[in-house]
Amino acid sequence: MTGTPDVSRSQARGRTRRRTLWFWAFVGPFAAGIALFTYVPLLWSVGLSFFDARNTVTPTDFVGLDNYTAVLSDDAFLSSLGTFALFTAFIVPTTYVFSLALALMVNRLRRAQAFFRSVFFLPAACSYVVAALIWKMSMFNGVRFGLANTVLDWFGADPVAWLATTDPPWYWLVIVTVRLWLQAGFYMVLFLAGLQRIDPVLYEAAAVDGARPGWPVLRHITLPQLRATSVAVILLLVINAFQAFDEFYNLLSNARGYPPYARPPLVYLYYTALGEGQNLGIGSAGAVVLALIIAVVTVGQARWLRLGRTDADA
């Protein structure tokens, strides 16, 4: 009888070791991959930002904060932040409203809801590069055979050089529409999940009190109940706007023909680190600065929108 507790503890330790072994057997390869292809390059990039790294990833000339000073004093980098601000002002509210409208419409369907949910979500699985090339070569082609110019021709309007450096800059319409088409379905699914969590009793009580369907119900019931989802959507939209690269690079491939404000930060970093000069030191410093800006903006936005706080906490 005295040996029974020891046997039980030994069996428990054996089960714990087996669970730990199986845990690392499944998680270990992924953890190693993340460490090797994500964290090691990040740390290496931070290290490069303090060296004069031209055409090499193993520099020897330590320059301290000179690369950061060069980045923060570069008009092209500052203008790329202005490009981000302009792109964010276009894409964040547009995607928010459009995806919420799609979610409201799909949520009201009684039949084929799964079909339309899948149809609207399908563009999210498309490559940004492929979508940008379709927009460039088919939808908004600069000749009269493009789809957009064909529609204009039906109404007797002249064709538009959508991707030319003209005034007004029509290429902004091309960039915003391709990003809207790609990501609206994904955020629609998030809003749809939030809508389906709203208690129908709230709408029934509003109807009993005489509230008319439409804007009053949307304003006083739906939007407050979607607050947590809305905060998450806005945060994701701003972060994704910071990461804009594919559509700008592929649609405005002739980057030298466009003004500096047509380059977002990632395009600036790409041409700095991998362009003709291949200045990996300044490119790494710019990447670190951009990461810090994203972190500060995200934390500030989360605090402003009271992410994770309930009404009782407020």
Question: What one-character DSSP code corresponds to residue 197?
Answer: T
Q: Tell me phi and psi for residue 199, to 5 degrees.
A: -70, 125
Residues 221 and 203 sit within 8 Å (Cβ to Cβ): yes
Nearest to 87 by CA among 280, 257, 256, 261: 261
Listed in sequence order, the residues at least 6 apart from 162 whose beta carbon sits closer than 8 Å to its beta carbon are 140, 141, 142, 146, 148, 170, 171, 173, 174
Distance between terminal CA atoms of the chain? 58
Digit-coded pLDDT (tens) for 45-56: 898 889 888 887
CA 225 to chain CA centroid, nearest Å: 24
Query: Which range of residues forms the domain containing residue 118?
Result: 72-304
Residues 91 and 237 sit within 8 Å (Cβ to Cβ): yes
- Is 153 a member of any domain? yes
- Is 177 a member of any domain? yes
Distances (CA, A) of 54 to 50, 68, 266, 272, 280: 12, 15, 19, 10, 6
Query: What is the predicted pLDDT for the residue at 255?
Result: 47
Question: What one-character DSSP code corresponds to residue 159?
Answer: P
- Which amino acid, 212? R
Listed in sequence order, the residues at least 6 apart from 176 whose beta carbon sits closer than 8 Å to its beta carbon are 87, 90, 91, 94
Query: What is the predicted pLDDT for the residue at 1?
Result: 47
- Is 88 a member of any domain? yes
Listed in sequence order, the residues at least 6 apart from 121 whose beta carbon sits closer than 8 Å to its beta carbon are 185, 186, 188, 189
- Is 222 a member of any domain? yes
Number of domains composing the chain: 1
Q: Tell me phi and psi for residue 108, to 5 degrees.
A: -85, -10
CA distance 160 to 173: 12
- CATH number, domain of 145, equals 1.10.3720.10
**pTM across the whole model:** 0.80
Query: What is the predicted pLDDT for the residue at 182?
Result: 93
Query: What is the predicted pLDDT for the residue at 237?
Result: 92
Residue with tokens 């990833």: 57
Residues 216-220: contacts with CB under 8 Å, at least 24 apart: 218/104
Question: Up-side HSE of residue 112: CA atoms within 13 Å toward CB?
Answer: 5
- Is 46 a member of any domain? no
Question: What one-character DSSP code corresponds to residue 127?
Answer: -
CA 66 to chain CA centroid, nearest Å: 31
CA distance 129 to 145: 22
181 burial via Cβ count (<10 Å: 0-12, 13-18, 19+): middle
- Is 119 a member of any domain? yes
Q: Tell me phi and psi for residue 60, to 5 degrees.
A: -125, -15
Query: What is the predicted pLDDT for the residue at 95?
Result: 94
CA distance 100 to 282: 40
Query: What is the predicted pLDDT for the residue at 252?
Result: 79
Low-confidence ranges of the chain (pLDDT < 70): 1-7, 144, 165-168, 253-262, 307-314
Residue with tokens 């019931």: 221
Residues 264 and 84 sit within 8 Å (Cβ to Cβ): yes
- Is 182 a member of any domain? yes
- Is 78 a member of any domain? yes
202 burial via Cβ count (<10 Å: 0-12, 13-18, 19+): middle
Digit-coded pLDDT (tens) for 244-297: 888 888 887 654 555 555 678 888 888 888 877 788 888 899 889 988 888 888
